[in-house]
Amino acid sequence: MSGQLDRIIAYHRETKHHPNRMARGPGRMDWANQPHPYRSYEGAERIALDRLGFEGISGQPRPLPLTRENLSRFFFESLALSARKAVAGSEWSLRVNPSSGNLHPTECYLLAGGGERLDLSSGVYHYQPKDHSLELLAGLDEEGWQSIHLPPGALLLILTSIHWRESWKYGARAFRYCMLDLGHALAAAGESARCLGWEMALLDDMGTEDLSRILWNGPEGLDVDHRSGAERPDLMLALFSDGRAHRVVEGLA
pTM, two decimals, is 0.90
- Helix, strand or coil for residue 126? strand
From the list 49, 64, 38, the residue with the least C-alpha distance to 192 is 64
**Cα 244–chain centre separation:** 22
63: domain CATH number is: 3.40.109.10
- Helix, strand or coil for residue 35? coil
188, 192, 198, 199 alpha-carbon torsion, rounded to 10°: 10
From the list 34, 135, 18, the residue with the least C-alpha distance to 26 is 34
Q: Do the domain assignments include residue 175?
A: yes
Q: Do the domain assignments include residue 227?
A: yes
Q: What is the DSSP-derived secondary structure letter of residue 214?
A: I
Q: Do the domain assignments include residue 37?
A: no
**Number of independent structural domains in the chain:** 1
d(CA 183, CA 2): 26
d(CA 208, CA 210): 5
pLDDT of residue 182: 97
Q: Do the domain assignments include residue 84?
A: yes
d(CA 156, CA 70): 15
- Where in the sequence is the domain holding 98, given as residue range(s)? 52-240
Other C-beta atoms lying within 10 Å of the C-beta of residue 68: 17
In tens digits, the chain (253 residues) has pLDDT values of 578 889 989 989 888 988 988 888 887 888 888 898 999 999 999 999 999 999 989 889 999 999 999 999 999 999 999 998 888 888 889 999 999 889 999 999 999 987 768 889 999 999 999 999 999 998 888 787 887 888 889 999 999 999 999 999 999 999 999 999 999 999 999 999 999 999 999 998 888 888 988 887 544 445 454 444 489 999 999 999 998 888 765 545 4
The HSE-up count of residue 198 (CA atoms within 13 Å, CB side) is: 26
pLDDT of residue 170: 92
